[in-house]
Amino acid sequence: MRGREYALPVGAVRGMIELRGAESRVLAQGAAGERIALVDGRAMPLVDLHALLRIRPQPVTARTCLVLAAYPEDDIRPSFAFVADSISRIEKVHARDYRTDSSEEWIEARIKLGEKWRGVLNLARMAQCRGSRAA
């Protein structure tokens, strides 16, 4: 996201959709003016992750994805969606490379990948967000 990398628990991911070319089919506005994602005939809140992290959104590219996430993680169906500039990889993280850190509002922990620590998105807080207001 704008040069910063974030992580999320892979167990919460219910799917990813390449967004380029699909924006008009999957992104919409709900009856109350909130932004929603439409996937497989189902509407879910579209959380504006860029706004939450206070970073400017990037234009949609071939790497831009709509991430479908579930919270709590044991939910079978996704409970909300958000747009990610790109998804880099799936990694197994050892306990020694994980630390709880709530110093930032939307981050619940940090994980170390290589030599760099990355923030783990707080899905519990994101799940409480309703779809952002459409502009």
Does residue 134 fall inside a structural domain? no
As a whole number, mean pLDDT of residues 48-65 equals 90
Does residue 135 fall inside a structural domain? no
Residue 66 has a pLDDT of 95
- Please name the helix (run of DSSP H) or strand (run of DSSP E) that holds residue 124, with its range, or none: helix 123-128
Does residue 92 fall inside a structural domain? yes
Contact between residue 57 and residue 71 where contact means Cβ atoms under 8 Å apart: no
Strand order across the 42-47 sheet:
13-18, 65-69, 80-84, 42-47, 35-39, 27-29
Side chain identity, residue 124? A
Does residue 45 fall inside a structural domain? yes
Q: Is 6 exposed, middle or buried (0-12, 13-18, 19+ CB in 10 A)?
A: middle
User: Domains in the chain: how many in total?
Assistant: 1
As a whole number, mean pLDDT of residues 96-109 equals 92
Does residue 63 fall inside a structural domain? yes
Domain around 63: 6-128
Does residue 58 fall inside a structural domain? yes
pLDDT band at 37 (very low <50, low <70, confident <90, very high): very high
Answer whether residue 82 shows pLDDT above 80. yes
As a whole number, mean pLDDT of residues 18-42 equals 88
CATH number assigned to the domain comprising residue 46: 2.40.50.180
